């Protein structure tokens, strides 16, 4: 006599992959946009960077990988910095944008000065070593020391030191740029 075997269908593997990627996307997309936007100061381009980074992660790894948030944060800052370094026309576009948009009850001269200051900071950031630029972009994008440490692959206790050194390097870079 043959024993009956009851087969319970398992959830489709692709459905599990989609569900885990949906969860990863929902939990990380906003942070990735914030990181990229901190570097680029362009929300639309920051969203492009976030999508690019998520797509690349999805192509290479499982969405439930333990290293996913750290990898994504690091990739977002690197991708944004690469875009920043490759754009040398940024100053012209920002100045054109500042001139073309009259602000209600604000000083146009101050807006141009602020745009120039932001441009100088971005250029100085692009000249910093990747790790220094990364720690600044991650921390000032709102990530905690724990998240910054995980993204950079360093201990939480090292983040403060790295951040202080990166801030000093940025100040030095800015002072060198303004004295030229």
Mean pLDDT computed over every residue of the chain: 84
pLDDT of residue 65: 93
pLDDT in tens, 88-125: 555 665 676 677 654 444 678 888 888 899 999 999 99
The length of the chain in residues reads 180
pLDDT of residue 14: 59
Query: What is the three-class DSSP state of 54?
Result: helix
pLDDT of residue 3: 56
pLDDT of residue 180: 47
pLDDT of residue 2: 54
Q: What are phi and psi of 66, to 5 degrees?
A: -65, -30
Question: Which pairs count as long-range contacts for 56-62, CB under 8 Å and 24+ apart, including other chains?
Answer: 57/24, 58/21, 62/17, 62/20
pLDDT of residue 141: 87
Whole-angstrom CA distances from 151 to 20, 45, 77, 91, 165 are 20, 21, 10, 30, 18
DSSP class of 142: T
The residue ranges of the chain whose pLDDT is under 50 are: 102-105, 180
pTM recorded for the entire structure: 0.56
What is the residue extent of each domain of the chain?
A: 21-100+107-179
């Amino acid at each position: 006599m043959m024993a009956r075997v009851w087969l319970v269908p398992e959830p489709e593997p692709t459905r599990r992959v989609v569900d885990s990627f949906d969860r990863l996307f929902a939990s990380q997309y906003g942070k990735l946009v914030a990181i990229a936007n901190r570097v680029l100061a362009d929300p639309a381009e920051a969203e492009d960077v976030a999508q690019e980074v998520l797509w690349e992660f999805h192509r290479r790894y499982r969405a439930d990988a333990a290293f996913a948030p750290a990898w994504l944060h690091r990739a977002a800052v690197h991708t944004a910095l690469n875009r920043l370094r490759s754009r040398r026309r940024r100053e012209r576009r920002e100045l054109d944008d500042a001139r073309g948009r009259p602000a209600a009850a604000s000083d146009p001269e101050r807006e141009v000065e602020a745009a120039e200051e932001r441009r100088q900071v971005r250029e100085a950031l692009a000249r910093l070593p990747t790790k220094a630029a990364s720690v600044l972009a991650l921390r000032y994008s709102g990530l905690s020391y724990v998240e910054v440490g995980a993204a950079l692959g360093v201990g939480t206790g090292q983040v403060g030191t790295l951040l202080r050194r990166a801030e000093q390097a940025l100040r030095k870079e800015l002072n060198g740029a303004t004295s030229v």
